[in-house]
Amino acid sequence: MELNRLLLLTAFLLHIKLSRMSPARLVCDNRLIQKYISEAKDMERRVSRCQELPSLTQPLPLPMVDFSLREWKTKTHETKRQEILWDLALLVDAVMAAQGQLRQECAATLLGQLYKKANSFLLLLQTFSWQVSATQPDRASRSMPQSQPSVIFLVYRQLVQGKLHFLFHDLAKDFCREGSQGGTRAPEYPMSPAASRGQ
C-alpha cells in the first residue's frame, strides 16, 4: 500500500513536470490549480451524462466542504492543510466504497479517475510541513451521508475550486513572490465557492 502511494505521488510530480521543486513551489503556477478545477468540472459533467445511476445501497459519509472566508483568513496554514487533508481522506474513502457498489462502466471509470486525482492531492499535502496546529477540524459536524454517486463528484469539484484553491493562493503569497526571478507570479484572488457553484 505504501509503495502504491509512493508511486502515485511520483507519477503526480512527473505529470506536472515540477518534480525538482519543493512541494510549496508547486503552488506558484496558477495554471496548475486552474487545470485541476477544469478537470473536476469535466468529471462532474461527464458523470451527469452516464446512464441513470442507481442510488448507493449504503449511504457514504462525504465531507461538507463549504466554509466561511472570514474564518478561513484567521487560520494558520497548518490548520487549513489539516482541514483539507481530512476532507480529502474522507472523500477518497467514499470513492473506494462507491467503486465497490457501482458496476456501471461509465461511473466506474470516472470513479477510478477521481480516486487517482483526489489521492494525489492527499499525498501532495502530506509532504508539506508546518508547526502542528493545536486546533483540529470538527470532524463530527463536517460530514453528511449521501446516497447519490453524482454528489461525490460535486464535493470534489467544490473542494478543489474552494478550499484547495484558496490554500494554493495563500501559499503563493508566502512562497512565490519572495525570491522570484521575474517569471513566477502569485495567482489572482479566486472567486468565492458560493459564487463558483453557479458555473
Decide which of 41 and 171 is more confident: 41
Q: Are strands 60-63 and 143-146 parallel, antiparallel or unpaired?
A: antiparallel
Place of cell 453528511: 144
Cβ atoms of residues 191 and 127 within 8 Å: no
pLDDT at 179: 42
Q: Which three cell numbers stand for residue 21?
A: 521543486
Percent of the residues in the chain that have a pLDDT greater than 70, as a whole number: 69
Helix, strand or coil for residue 79?
helix
Closest CA to 30 of 193, 176, 158, 155: 176
Express as a percent the part of the chain with pLDDT over 90: 39
What does pLDDT average to over the chain? 77
pLDDT in tens, 80-124: 988 999 999 999 999 999 999 988 889 999 999 999 999 988 888
